[in-house]
Amino acid sequence: MSLIVHKYGGTSMGSTERIQNVARRVAKWHRAGHQMVVVPSAMSGETNRLLGLAREITDNPDPRELDQIAATGEQVSVGLLALALQKQGVKARSYTGWQVPVRTNSAYTKARIESIDDARVREDLGNGYVVIITGFQGIDGAGSITTLGRGGSDTSAVAVAAALKAEECLIYTDVDGVYTTDPRIEPDARRLAKITFEEMLEMASLGSKVLQIRSVEFAGKYKVKTRVLSSLTDPDIDLQEEAQSGTLITYEEDDTMEQAVISGIAFNRDEAKITIAGVPDKPGVAYRILGPVAQANVDVDMIIQNASHDGMTDFSFTVHRNELQKALDVLQAKVQPEINAREISGDNQICKVSVVGIGMRSHVGIASQMFETLAAEGINIQMISTSEIKISVVIADKYMELAVRALHKAFGLS
Amino acid sequence: MSLIVHKYGGTSMGSTERIQNVARRVAKWHRAGHQMVVVPSAMSGETNRLLGLAREITDNPDPRELDQIAATGEQVSVGLLALALQKQGVKARSYTGWQVPVRTNSAYTKARIESIDDARVREDLGNGYVVIITGFQGIDGAGSITTLGRGGSDTSAVAVAAALKAEECLIYTDVDGVYTTDPRIEPDARRLAKITFEEMLEMASLGSKVLQIRSVEFAGKYKVKTRVLSSLTDPDIDLQEEAQSGTLITYEEDDTMEQAVISGIAFNRDEAKITIAGVPDKPGVAYRILGPVAQANVDVDMIIQNASHDGMTDFSFTVHRNELQKALDVLQAKVQPEINAREISGDNQICKVSVVGIGMRSHVGIASQMFETLAAEGINIQMISTSEIKISVVIADKYMELAVRALHKAFGLS
């Protein structure tokens, strides 16, 4: 008998009929002798409906009140799932984040979990209950409700699994695992049986939107075995088969890890590139450029500073496409008078493509193989950025599918 | 400067546009220098939507989980109203029942308020905030959410007003006060400027569904001045005019009370009559009849036992029309074998009409005037029941409108 955490996304909870399917699946695990904790999301569309009501009133809502409103979606879900489990003849009890409690800081709409009290949950589990806990939310030191941001239920589930030292955290979703790249771009994309947290972090942050990135950090930090698997299978499917399906995200490179050098190809077409050409190359120039951008709450992703020529350098970075104009406005108004650059330009016709793989650490030549592959397709590389386990390039948007497919083939992922 | 509690019903909170009208009204009171606490209901239809989801899953839901689900409707309302007030430039903060906290017993779906902690609310009021508190709900000793039953937001508002020793509790609703009878039955029905709690209790329990009856008991017990008034007026109407509108429910018969003997005519067509004829008149017969009925959770309203003839008596009582068959089944299965009555019969073609008035205490002849009026219209009286301030009769359903209009005229209420 082991303690298992299940997490179900909004699509799985999308109707009372689907909620009853979730209950059948959970009941199956419970009857097999596992102690079960379930963390469901709000019914699909519900969080958007709630935030839409707030937006009908104001464009600039108080984040505390926004969380007060948004947290109700999951509260409805946990109650309904408890009823559905009880109907299956399973003892079940639901808790909100504040009832557990899941303690967070006070950063409303994007709070971070600080601690989870496991006493109440353990007592119920000991008494044979399935415990259902709202995802996405907690309570701050002042007793106000907080939410963890979009996709926060993934983080809730992993954090609960960490607090309870669960055997495994199963994230049920509408995809059946993590793929070498997006199957809509490359039909030969293959599901990975295992992936390390580090690779998953790079894949997730680069646009393979399977899990909230913070949940992966959490899983890595607290060594929670986390599995992404499909909620669309028959709920009465054989438990052993289900338990081996999907993709396991592990915190160690064990012997059974696939020996591929590259795990996958990630991509992101939500970014735009800003280039500041002809900047005097003096100490502090990066800060003088990016300080005002950060103050305007514009997130910056890749940052490249080219070698200096004649005391002048070119400085490039990427931002979210929606924030390109805002960033350019800040640069023109606040930065240009200070640094007197030759030119400031923006380009939103770009994309980022990355190869990710923990095997890269011990293999030379991955970068050159990547650049060679792109060159053979006639694709010009505009920016390059590397980490220990990934290489990212910025290329013209229109080449994205071509680049992904070529790299997927070149690295033997098909 | 005084402390005022406003309560808004589901219709007033029915859309974000209406919520913004509520905010304008509250802001007007706040700017006039009052400390304001607002208790809103869920948006109209929302509680039914939530309970409907639960019913899609099970016909017999666990009441704790039902309350977990149903309480979210008001939580959304308080958040939205806080946003709308902030948009009006007013400092506002929302609290759920558990955040205040409003402590209740554990009778899920029909909990009773035990105490309200006023510390947090007072601190916010002192700092110039409008405080918004969810109606309908609280928290029990185990930390679970409870709800107070249908219309419970009225009770929440009055209880909050009592805890804070508010100057007045204003219940904004879609009617503009308490009438001498239902204007849909008698077009000459007149709005009462004042009514005592005792009269209001009789009016409410007899079917004039303006306020939840428990809220009136609460208001009477804790001497909370409560006013029922319209939420459909222009929110920017003159405050003094608004403050005098509607119907004030007072806890004392002051000099300015209207001197009418009868305040109003109430009626109820939701009841059915059960008659058990030819019962041996022995001690304990009432208990032997009603005990099994009560055990089956059937509520009984009027109870009449006629005088005994030859050691036999007739016993009649009324139940909710929806529970007539259930009550008859219990009587046939469990009671008849014990008491061996001559006949047990049910009639759902009845209604109850009552005259209510605190002046009745000191005036004889009200009953005879009532019976004379009904006789003059050829209406046969089937049952009679009296209290200190009301007289109720059961008559055939089809005569209801006729009886109400005749009594309204006879007692000079038009």
**pLDDT per residue over B65-121, tens digit each?**
999 999 999 999 999 999 999 999 999 999 999 999 999 999 999 899 999 999 999
Number of domains in chain A: 2
Q: B146 and B277: one domain? A: no
Please judge whether A69 and B79 are an interchain contact, meaning their C-beta atoms are less than 8 angstroms apart.
Answer: yes
Q: What's the rounded Cα separation, in Å, for the pair B127 and B118?
A: 14
Residue B244 in contact with partner chain A when CB distance is under 8 A: no
Q: A305 and A169: one domain? A: no
- Picking from B253, B285, B303, the residue at the C-terminal end of a domain is B253
Rounded to whole angstroms, what are the CA distances from B305 to B156, B286, B287?
38, 8, 12
Report the pLDDT averaged over residues B321-329: 94
Please judge whether A62 and B82 are an interchain contact, meaning their C-beta atoms are less than 8 angstroms apart.
Answer: yes
Contacts of B369 (CB under 8 A, 6+ apart): B410, B411
Are the beta carbons of B50 and B144 closer than 8 angstroms? no
Interface test with A, best of B47, B53, B57 (most A CBs within 10 A): B57
Q: Letter for the amino acid at B199?
A: E
From chain B, pick out residues whose CB is under 8 angstroms from the CB of A56: 16-17
Report the CATH number that the domain containing residue A306 is assigned in CATH.
3.30.2130.10
DSSP characters for B215-268? HHHHHHHTT--EEEEESSS-TTS-HHHHHT-SEEEESS--TTS---S--EEEEE
Residue A108 in contact with partner chain B when CB distance is under 8 A: no
pLDDT, tens only, A122-169: 999 999 999 999 999 999 999 999 999 888 999 999 999 999 999 999
Q: B248 and B263: one domain? A: no
Tokens for B414?
Answer: 């038009």
What's the N-to-C CA distance of chain B in angstroms?
Answer: 38
What pLDDT band is residue B253 in, cutting at 50, 70 and 90? low
Query: What is the DSSP-derived secondary structure letter of residue A87?
Result: H
Q: Letter for the amino acid at A241?
A: E
Rounded to whole angstroms, what are the CA distances from A33 to A88, A125, B8?
16, 12, 49
DSSP characters for B164-205? TT-SEEEEEESS-S-BSS-TTT-TT--B-SEEEHHHHHHHHH
Number of other CB atoms surrounding residue B21 within 10 Å: 20
Residue A105 in contact with partner chain B when CB distance is under 8 A: no
Q: B91 and B215: one domain? A: yes
Q: B233 and B275: one domain? A: no
Q: Which residue on chain B is closest to A61 by alpha carbon?
A: B83
Please judge whether B79 and A57 are an interchain contact, meaning their C-beta atoms are less than 8 angstroms apart.
Answer: no
Pairing of strands B137-139, B168-173: unpaired
Q: B247 and B377: one domain? A: no
CB pairs under 8 A between A and B: 101
Q: A132 and A211: one domain? A: yes
Tokens for B31?
Answer: 């700017």
Pairing of strands B247-250, B264-268: unpaired
Please judge whether A87 and B56 are an interchain contact, meaning their C-beta atoms are less than 8 angstroms apart.
Answer: no
Interface test with B, best of A20, A49, A62 (most B CBs within 10 A): A62
- Picking from A253, A281, A297, the residue at the C-terminal end of a domain is A253
Report the CATH number that the domain containing residue A175 is assigned in CATH.
3.40.1160.10
Alpha helices in A206-311 (DSSP H): 213-221, 239-243, 285-295
SS3 B13: coil
Residue A63 in contact with partner chain B when CB distance is under 8 A: no
Query: What backbone phi and psi angles, to 5 degrees, belong to A247?
Result: -125, 125
Residue B86 in contact with partner chain A when CB distance is under 8 A: yes
Q: Which domain holds residue A194?
A: 3-253
Q: What's the rounded Cα separation, in Å, for the pair A200 and A263?
A: 9
Q: B223 and B282: one domain? A: no
Contacts of A211 (CB under 8 A, 6+ apart): A151, A154, A171, A200, A204, A226, A228, A249
Q: B59 and B75: one domain? A: yes
From chain B, pick out residues whose CB is under 8 angstroms from the CB of A84: 57-58
Contacts of B399 (CB under 8 A, 6+ apart): B351, B377, B379
Whether the complex's predicted ipTM surpasses the cut of 0.85: no
Predicted pLDDT of residue B359: 78
Average pLDDT of chain A, as a whole number: 91
Q: A248 and A295: one domain? A: no
Please judge whether A93 and B64 are an interchain contact, meaning their C-beta atoms are less than 8 angstroms apart.
Answer: yes
Residue B51 in contact with partner chain A when CB distance is under 8 A: no
From chain B, pick out residues whose CB is under 8 angstroms from the CB of A137: none
Contacts of A154 (CB under 8 A, 6+ apart): A7, A135, A171, A211, A212, A214, A215
Q: What's the rounded Cα separation, in Å, for the pair A46 and A12?
A: 13
pLDDT, tens only, A341-400: 999 999 999 999 999 988 777 677 788 889 889 999 999 888 888 888 888 899 999 999
pLDDT in tens, chain A (414 residues): 799 999 999 999 999 999 999 999 999 999 999 999 999 999 999 999 999 999 999 999 999 999 999 999 999 999 999 999 999 999 999 999 999 999 999 999 989 999 999 999 999 999 999 999 999 999 999 999 999 988 899 999 999 999 999 999 999 998 888 889 888 889 999 999 999 888 888 887 665 667 887 888 889 889 999 999 999 999 999 999 999 999 999 876 655 544 567 889 999 889 999 999 888 877 777 888 888 988 888 888 888 877 677 788 888 899 999 999 999 999 999 999 988 899 999 999 999 999 998 877 767 778 888 988 999 999 988 888 888 888 889 999 999 999 999 999 999 888
From chain A, pick out residues whose CB is under 8 angstroms from the CB of B72: 72, 75-76
Q: A69 and A97: one domain? A: yes
Strand partners of residue A271: A320
Helices A197-205, A213-221: crossing angle, 10 deg rounding = 170
Q: Letter for the amino acid at B325?
A: Q
- Picking from B233, B253, B273, the residue at the C-terminal end of a domain is B253
Report the pLDDT averaged over residues B9-29: 97
Q: A324 and A224: one domain? A: no
Tokens for A320?
Answer: 């979210």
